[in-house]
Amino acid sequence: MAGKSEKLLSILKLQPVVPVLIVDDAKSAVGLARALVAGGLRAIEITMRTPAALDAVKAVAEDVEGANVGAGTILNARDFDAAVKAGSTFIVSPGSTPGVLDAAKGSDVPLLPGAASASEVMALREAGFDVMKFFPAEQAGGAAFLKALSSPLAGTLFCPTGGISLKNARDYLSLPNVVCVGGSWVAPKEMVSAGDWAGITKLASEAFTLDK
């Protein structure tokens, strides 16, 4: 598990913000991913919330140089395996179940499992995970909650996601137990629909400098 944690951290540490994307049209995924990579955001999470999601992961994995594409909203072992076959370099789940954790243990592709309480963090640590998604971040207690966990649960690193924006991202990024944050603000739906890749690259560039 330690090797997979290192592999996951090498991806998450590429940038302070991991774009969390809902892709309605797989054809737009390549242009969108290229725009994000051009702005410095090379680790990209495509959520499995639309019929186009798996095709989008496959297209980005095959056609976007420099991108590390991951699949998010993975809810079961079947979806885990399908995302890996599509080319995902990391997997993200909103929580954890025995089925998802078993799939992760049997795969070389690292899992970023979700946790929203001290008990869930402890359970994941017992299962061998020390890098987790804190979700839904703002609704579950925000940066103040994560700061409170940093001492009793030292050695655990988080990627908070949910309700994070340009306005509050630095509150999280300043914490010692936060490696990066996840956010959708770098790829607004209207910009994606319009194919405004230059605008998205600008937003990505701003996000890339957040921890500077």
Question: If DSSP codes are grouped into helix, strand and coil, which group holds residue 195?
Answer: coil
- As to burial, measured by CB atoms within 10 angstroms (0-12 exposed, 13-18 middle, 19+ buried), residue 127 is middle
C-alpha distance across the termini of the chain, in Å: 31
Q: Judge whether 45 counts as a catalytic residue.
A: yes
211 Cα distance to chain centroid? 17
Q: Which of 4, 6, 13, 45 is catalytic?
A: 45
Q: Under DSSP, is residue 14 helix (H, G, I), strand (E, B) or coil?
A: coil
User: Any idea which residue has 């194919």 for tokens?
Assistant: 195
Catalytic-role residue among 133, 167, 206, 212: 133
> Three-class SS string for 127-188?
CCCCEEEECCCCCCCHHHHHHHHCCCCCCCEEEEECCCCCCCHHHHHCCCCECCEEECCCCC
Radius of gyration (C-alpha) of the chain in whole angstroms? 16
Q: How far apart are CA 49 and CA 19, in angstroms?
A: 15
For 2, residues 6+ apart whose C-beta sits below 8 A from its C-beta are none
Burial class (CB in 10 A: 0-12, 13-18, 19+), 51: exposed
Catalytic residue list: 45, 133
